[in-house]
Structure 1
Amino acid sequence: MDNSKYYLEKQQEICMKYSQISDLVELDTLIALGKNFNPRIQINGLRHPRTKTLNGWYIWSGEDFNPDEFDFFQPSHAYHLLDNAPFVLQYLGLPPGNRFLIDNKGYEDVWFDEGLLVYDTQES
């Protein structure tokens, strides 16, 4: 992909801005994208540690969603964001434990949530 190097550089810039050690995301890796994703409203993202198949990012739009809904998040290659929300890609280099809330008008809030790194080892 022609844009890959550009977006990796943008990811590095955001990590430096927030004093985070980068964990850059290639555009051909999988994110978990909420079925309500809409780049015209606020976008939420949180990053868990990587798995065998996902790079750790869960991204959705708006405030209302049910994380227990079986099929709310669907795997999607990060490069699909190039079509309608390329401004999201720059945040994907933030390491696990990070969250963001952004919009397409330039609003930006990034913070660390240690709870994203804790696993529940008890069986339900």
Structure 2
Amino acid sequence: MSSDQRDVCQRFGAEYMPPEASQKVGISIASLAKVPLHAVRLIPENGTCGWYIYGGEYSTDADFYQPLHAVHLLERCPGIVRYLALPPGWRVLLAPDYEDVWFDGGLLKDATDIP
């Protein structure tokens, strides 16, 4: 998938920053069949690559996300894999025949900076 990931980064003018296979993503496995598919990359920390992925509507439930090694996304959510090299601050929204990818600098702000 490396060439697909490089192509996506080039298409959007973004730095190429693929996650390591052993890093974890936050994923709402139970929601993946819902549309649209949302993915957002925050700053990596504590063994995570910063990606959070869910389908449908976001939930604030404490168990909404589960940890999953990035390498397992090929099985669980293959449609998102080509976008995983986008660096922190990027968002992806996918639905049938629809793709929206954009940079959101607000994702990079430290929680203490937010009023």
Q: Output one character per residue of 1:13-43: Cα deviation in whole Å (capped at 9) or x when no partner.
A: 1000000011112333211001433246321
Displaced runs of 4+ in structure 1, greater than 6 A? Answer: none
Q: Which deviates more from structure 2 when the two are superposed, residues 81-90 or residues 91-100?
A: 81-90
5+ residue gaps, structure 1 = 1-6
**C-alpha RMSD of matched pairs (Å):** 1.8
- How far, CA to CA, are the matches of 2:25 and 2:84 in structure 1? 9
Q: Which amino acid aligns with 1:11?
A: Q
Q: Percent identity?
A: 34
Q: Which residue of 2 aligns with 1:94?
A: 86
Q: Do the aligned partners of residues 25 and 106 (structure 1) sit closer, same or farther apart at CA in structure 2, a change above 3 Å counting?
A: farther
1:28 to 18, 22, 32: 22
- TM-score, with structure 2 as normaliser: 0.86
> Which of the pair is proportionally richer in helix?
2
Q: Which amino acid aligns with 1:30?
A: K
Q: How many Å apart are 1:66 and its aligned residue?
A: 1.9
CA contact (8 A) 2:94 2:100 kept: yes
- How far, CA to CA, are the matches of 2:29 and 2:50 in structure 1? 17
- How far, CA to CA, are the matches of 1:29 and 1:81 in structure 2? 11
5+ residue gaps, structure 2 = none
Q: Which amino acid aligns with 1:110?
A: V
2:54 to 47, 53, 60: 60
